[in-house]
Amino acid sequence: MKTRCNQLSAMLTKLGSIVGALALSAALLLASSRPGHGTYEVNVYKAYPSTFWILVSVALSLGFMSMFGEIFSMHSPYGWVYGVLLIVSVNTLILSLPCLRDYAFTNQWDDVVHFSLATNIVQYGQPDSQNFYPTSHLLATAFSQITGLDLQVVISLFPMLFYLVYLASTAFVAWSMDTRSEVRALTMALASPLVFHTYSTTFRPTYFSVCMFPLVVGWIYRTRFQRLRWLDSVPFVFLLIFLPFFHPWSVISAIGITLAFGITFALEPTKRLRSDSSMFLTPVVIIGITWWTWFTAFRVFGTTLRRLVLSFGSALEGTHSLAGYLSKAQQAELQLSRVLSLVVYTYGLTVLYLGLAGLVIIWTFVQVVIRRRWVPAHLLALSSFIVTFTAIAVLSLFRDLVTANPLRISNFAVASVPVLVGALFYDFLSDHRAVGTAIARKHLFRKILLVVLVSTSILGVFVAHYSPLIGQPNHQFSYAQQAGITFLFEKAATDDKNIYTPFKGAFTLSSVLGSEDLRQLRQESPRWWIKAAPAHFGYEPDELGIEFENPGYLWVTAHENAYYTEVWPEGGRFTPQDFERLEIDPHWHRIYTSGDLTIWRRYNDE
C-alpha cells in the first residue's frame, strides 16, 4: 500500500513539473506577443495581461511542489533538480524583463551611475580615480567587450547573472556542509525565491556582495573545518583579496562572519575546535590589511567615517529613517491599510525569512543556553551573524550608519538563511525515526513550509521591480529619457544659469558621460550639479516661479511625473495641478520633448 502511494506521489510530482514547464512556456508565448517599445511604463506588472502573471505563479507553485515531492519522498537522488530549474527559469524571466522590454536602464539612479563608472573604463582603459569599488565595473566592461553586447544591456543583465552566482554560491555551501541530497535540495529551494526585493533587479555592488556572501561562508567552512593544506586554501585567499575591491559591505560582512566562526570555535566547550579558533585571525588580517590599504587612499573614506561618527554623535538620520517614513505617511494622509500594505510589500519578505531563521536561532539558544548542549559550530556562527546584521539593519532605521536603506544590510542576513535552516528544517520535517501522530504533524509542517515558500516566491516576483505596489513608479530609465539628456547636454546655452528637475537629478547626467568627464564638466560649470526644483515649482497664489534661483532649464521626466501625478498625487512636493500650471506658465518655454522627458527654458533669460 505504502509503495503504491509512493509510486503515485512520484508520478504526480513529475506530472506537476511537466505542467509547470508548460505553464511557463505559455507565459513566454504571451510575453513574446507583447514586446516592449522602450518607452516609459509606470508599472511593469501591467505590461502583460493577468493571465501571464497567473501562469508565472502556477509555474512557481508547481516547481516548489515538485521539489518538495522529491525532497521528502526521494524517488530519485536528483529528481528535485527539475523543480529548481523551473523556479530559476521563472525568476530569470522576471529579472530579464528590463532587457526584454528594451529599457535603457532598469533604475534611475544606481544603474546610470555604475554605467558612467564603467563607461570611464571603456574610454580611458582604467577606473575613475575616485572609484573605490571598481571590480563590478571592470567585469561589466570586459563582459561587454568580450560578448559584443552593448554596455547598457550588460548593466541590465548583471543583476540576473548575479542571481545565478548567488544560487551557485549557495549550492557550494550546501554541498560543503551536508552530504545528504535532500538537505542540499531544501537549501536550494529556500535560496531560489527572489527575496532581495528591488535589489535583485538593480546593478548594485552591495547586492552583488550579498550574492557572493554564501561563497565566503562556504570557503570559511571548507578551509577551517576540513583542515586543508595551504595550497587548498588558495581560492579562499584570492576571495579575501578580492572582497575589498568589490564593496566595503562585502568586507564588513566577511569580517563579521569570520569573527562569528572564530568566537564560536573559541567558546566550544569540548575544546575540540578551541585550538583552531586562532586560524580565523589570518583571514581577518588579510582582508583587513588589503581593505585598509585600498580604501584609505580615497576621499570617500574620510567622508564615510565622518558620516558614521555623526550618525551616532548628532543623531544623523538616514534617508530611509523610520521618522521619515512616518512623516511621509502623515503628509499623504495614508490610511492604515495602505501603510500596512506598503510595510508588507517592502519588508514582508525580509521579515518572513528572518522569521524562519528566528525559529532556528531560538532552537539554538535553547540548546546552548538552557539545555547546555553544544550545536554544530556553523549554526551558532550563522545565528550570531544573522542577529548582528538584523540588529544593525534595525538600528539604521533610526541612525544613518552610511547604509542608505536597512534592506541593504538585512540582505546579508537573508542570504545566510537557506544555509542556516536547510539541514535543521529537513531533520525536523523528514519521516526518519518518526512514528504515529508525529508523522502526521511533520506532514502538516511540510505543507506549511511549502505554502510559505510558494507565497514568498510569488511575492518576490511582484516586489522585484519598483511599482506602485511598493509606493514607487517603475524606476525605468528609457532611451527617450536618455535622448533628452543628450539633447540638453549638447544644446544647452553656454551660460551659468541653473538646471532644475523635480527630483534632485545629479545622477541623471551619468547616463551620457563617463564619470571622470562628468567630474571635469562640473568643475568647469557647477550648473551641471542639477538642482531640485522648489516645491510646487515655487507657485504661490499671486506670483509665479519666485523661488527658483537663477533658473535656466527645467526638465521633467515621465518617472517624476508618474511619481507625483499617479502614485502620490497628494502630500508630495508637487501635485498634478503644479504640472498643469507649468503648461500655462508664461515664464517657461517648452522647448524639447521625447515623450519621456520634457525640457523647459526660462523665458526671462534672453
Partner 1 sequence: MNDQSTDTKESELTTAHRKSRNHYGDLFLLIGLCLSLTLLVYSTRSSLLRVIAGGLCIFFAPGYVLLAALYPDHRSISQGQRLSASVGISVVISSLLYLAAAYSLGITPHSSLGIVVAWILAMGLVAGLRRYRTPRPARPVLRPSTTPTPRQKQEPLSKWLRLGQIAAILVLGVTVGRLVWISSHTAPQFTEFYLLGSKGLAGGYPNHTQVGHPITVTIGIVHHGKNPQSYDLLYRIDNEDYVLAKSVVLDDGEQWESEVEIYPLETPERQKIVFDLHKAGQEFPYDTLHLWVDGSE
Q: What is the footprint of partner 1 within residues 34-63 (CB under 8 A)?
A: 35-39
By beta-carbon proximity to partner 1, the closer residue of 55 and 392 is 55
By beta-carbon proximity to partner 1, the closer residue of 128 and 400 is 128
Asked if 267 touches partner 1 (CB under 8 A), the answer is no
By CB under 8 A, name the one of 47, 88, 139, 395 that touches partner 1: 139
Report in angstroms how near the CB of residue 484 gets to partner 1 at its nearest: 7
Q: What is the footprint of partner 1 within residues 461-480 (CB under 8 A)?
A: 478-480
Report in angstroms how near the CB of residue 477 gets to partner 1 at its nearest: 12
In eight-state DSSP terms, residue 514 is -
Report in angstroms how near the CB of residue 175 gets to partner 1 at its nearest: 4
Residue type, 370: I
Cβ(83)–Cβ(457) under 8 Å? Answer: no
Q: How far apart are CA 297 and CA 402, in angstroms?
A: 19
Cell numbers placing 362:
531560538
User: What ranges in 366-399 are assigned the alpha helix state H?
Assistant: 377-395
Q: What is the footprint of partner 1 within residues 509-538 (CB under 8 A)?
A: none
Report in angstroms how near the CB of residue 39 gets to partner 1 at its nearest: 6
Cβ neighbours of residue 315 under 8 Å, at least 6 residues apart?
Answer: 399
Q: What is the footprint of partner 1 within residues 109-128 (CB under 8 A)?
A: 121-122, 124-127
Distance of CA 553 to the CA centre of its chain: 34
Cβ(386)–Cβ(417) under 8 Å? Answer: yes
Asked if 313 touches partner 1 (CB under 8 A), the answer is no
By CB under 8 A, name the one of 18, 289, 315, 326 that touches partner 1: 18
By beta-carbon proximity to partner 1, the closer residue of 241 and 266 is 241
Q: Which stretch binds partner 1 (CB under 8 A): 25-33, 329-337, 384-392, 559-567?
A: 25-33
From the list 102, 219, 208, the residue with the least C-alpha distance to 158 is: 208
Instruction: Find the helix packing angle between 437-463 and 406-429, rounded to 10°.
Output: 160
From the list 415, 418, 407, 411, the residue with the least C-alpha distance to 356 is: 418
Asked if 319 touches partner 1 (CB under 8 A), the answer is no
Q: How far apart are CA 445 and CA 451, in angstroms?
A: 10
Q: Which stretch binds partner 1 (CB under 8 A): 106-114, 158-166, 269-277, 439-447?
A: 158-166
Report CA Rg, the chain: 26
Cell numbers placing 313:
554623535
Report in angstroms how near the CB of residue 498 gets to partner 1 at its nearest: 14
Asked if 75 touches partner 1 (CB under 8 A), the answer is yes
Cβ neighbours of residue 2 under 8 Å, at least 6 residues apart?
Answer: none
Q: Which stretch binds partner 1 (CB under 8 A): 27-35, 415-423, 449-457, 534-542?
A: 27-35
Q: Which stretch binds partner 1 (CB under 8 A): 22-30, 109-117, 302-310, 503-511?
A: 22-30
Enumerate the β-bridge partners of residue 598.
556, 593
Q: How far apart are CA 566 and CA 574, in angstroms?
A: 11
Annotate 508-528 with b (16+ C-beta within 10 A) or e (fewer). bbbbbbbbbbbbebbeeeebb
Q: DSSP secondary structure string, 63-91?
A: HHHHHHHHHHH-SSTTTHHHHHHHHHHHH
Phi-psi region of 227 (alpha: psi -120 to 50; beta: other; left: phi over 0): left
By beta-carbon proximity to partner 1, the closer residue of 133 and 564 is 133
Q: Is 574 exposed, middle or buried (0-12, 13-18, 19+ CB in 10 A)?
A: buried
By beta-carbon proximity to partner 1, the closer residue of 82 and 203 is 82
Cell numbers placing 72:
521528502
By beta-carbon proximity to partner 1, the closer residue of 31 and 458 is 31
Report in angstroms how near the CB of residue 16 gets to partner 1 at its nearest: 10
Asked if 274 touches partner 1 (CB under 8 A), the answer is no
Report in angstroms how near the CB of residue 357 gets to partner 1 at its nearest: 22
By beta-carbon proximity to partner 1, the closer residue of 28 and 512 is 28
Q: What is the footprint of partner 1 within residues 205-264 (CB under 8 A)?
A: 212, 215, 218, 222, 228, 231-232, 234-235, 238-239, 241-242, 245-246
Q: What is the footprint of partner 1 within residues 160-189 (CB under 8 A)?
A: 161, 164-165, 168-169, 171-172, 175-176, 179-181, 184
Question: Which residue in this structure is represented by grid cell 518518526?
Answer: 434
Report in angstroms how near the CB of residue 246 gets to partner 1 at its nearest: 7
From the list 76, 81, 62, 50, the residue with the least C-alpha distance to 20 is: 62
Report in angstroms how near the CB of residue 234 gets to partner 1 at its nearest: 6
Phi-psi region of 333 (alpha: psi -120 to 50; beta: other; left: phi over 0): left
By beta-carbon proximity to partner 1, the closer residue of 333 and 606 is 606
Q: Which stretch binds partner 1 (CB under 8 A): 16-24, 299-307, 525-533, 534-542?
A: 16-24
Asked if 365 touches partner 1 (CB under 8 A), the answer is no
# binding residues, partner 1 (CB under 8 A): 108
By CB under 8 A, name the one of 496, 542, 543, 606 that touches partner 1: 606
Cβ neighbours of residue 254 under 8 Å, at least 6 residues apart?
Answer: 213, 216, 240, 243, 283, 287
Q: How far apart are CA 467 and CA 44, in angstroms?
A: 7
Q: What is the footprint of partner 1 within residues 537-596 (CB under 8 A)?
A: 552-553, 586-596
By CB under 8 A, name the one of 10, 434, 469, 521 that touches partner 1: 10
Phi, psi of 386 (to 5 degrees): -65, -40
Enumerate the β-bridge partners of residue 105.
477
By beta-carbon proximity to partner 1, the closer residue of 254 and 402 is 254
Report in angstroms how near the CB of residue 537 gets to partner 1 at its nearest: 16
Enumerate the β-bridge partners of residue 553.
499, 601
Report in angstroms how near the CB of residue 434 gets to partner 1 at its nearest: 15
By beta-carbon proximity to partner 1, the closer residue of 411 and 594 is 594
By beta-carbon proximity to partner 1, the closer residue of 156 and 405 is 156
Q: How far apart are CA 450 and CA 147, in angstroms?
A: 39
By CB under 8 A, name the one of 63, 69, 134, 551 that touches partner 1: 134
